[in-house]
Amino acid sequence: MWVNVSLLTDATHADALSEALMDHGALSVSVEDAQAGTEAETPQFGEPGSAATPLWQQSRVVALFEPGDDLPGRVAAACQAIGLDDLPDFELSEVAEQNWVQLTQSQFDPIRINDRLWIVPSWHVAPDAQAINIELDPGLAFGTGSHPTTYLCLQWLCETVRSGPLGNPSVLDYGCGSGILAIAAAKLGAASVLGVDIDDRALESARYNAERNRVELSLRHSQQALNETFDLVVANILTNPLCVLAPLLAGRVAAGGRLALSGVLESQAQQVIAAYAPYIALAVGATHEGWCRLEGRS
């Protein structure tokens, strides 16, 4: 049995508080976006044209402790050690002894996108051996197929890579994360696929996942020049960076090509549509669990 201690702080104190909690007996500490899942959610990494912020302005620090005497006293001492005289509100919750590997795996079952495409963790047998099956395990980079935005993008790729006047298209996956969309595009029949990301760990993950799925991807850091155009451009990021990237992403769509954007809450759709209006007309193509996919044609 262990105990989780969860408390809110700001970006100025998150790192120091994490270290102080470790100094006062924490076994591990994680820092999360306190606004995750809301319109105030922000990316951890800086995007082109925006100032990079090391941590979220409002962060949730979660520390794991062994059960012991006076955990509130340890938390108070950690706060005082970094100059926080006013103790933030915090919550204690018990964490039961479990088989963590088995528990983690149990949270990730095969995901059916449609009859044509499945996402299958390595510890499962593919439910439909005749479908296109992407072998993908959860890791450091975003993209397992379970998030509504990834699901919306995978559905779009199934529709656009399979049919239409473009035929075997060239595809750009901007913000490729684990590489799930880029791998899907390649398996669905794209002639060429380029994945771009701002995070070196994501590019490593995408490269590893591409090798496991026996597909060829080109991968590039977002700091490198991107001058080519593509038949299909897909970006599953967040609203604010999507708006900043409007000139770049719209400019990568070849004549007659198509653009799909996700990572956008339904309430944020008009903000993104307005940001792209000078370059390409967007409309809501599909929605799922409060998120939407925006689509446009060059």
Q: Where are the domains of the chain?
A: 2-97, 139-297
pLDDT in the model for residue 48: 42
Query: How far are the Cα atoms of 108, 125, 145, 211 from residue 104, in angstroms, in the given order?
Result: 7, 17, 16, 23
- Could you confirm whether domain 139-297 is CATH 2.60.40.10? no
pLDDT at 99: 52
Instruction: Tell whether domain 2-97 is in CATH 3.40.640.10.
Output: no
Question: What are the pLDDT digits (tens) for 233-288?
Answer: 999 999 999 999 999 999 999 999 999 999 999 999 999 999 999 999 999 999 99
Low-confidence ranges of the chain (pLDDT < 50): 45-53, 100-101, 103
The pTM for the full model equals 0.67
pLDDT score of 155: 95
How confident is the model at residue 50, as a pLDDT?
A: 42
**Residue-level pLDDT at 98:** 54
The pLDDT of residue 165: 55
Task: Please state, in angstroms and as integers, the Cα–Cα distance from residue 77 to each residue in 7, 30, 58, 151, 209, following that order.
Answer: 14, 19, 21, 45, 44
Residue 156: what pLDDT?
97
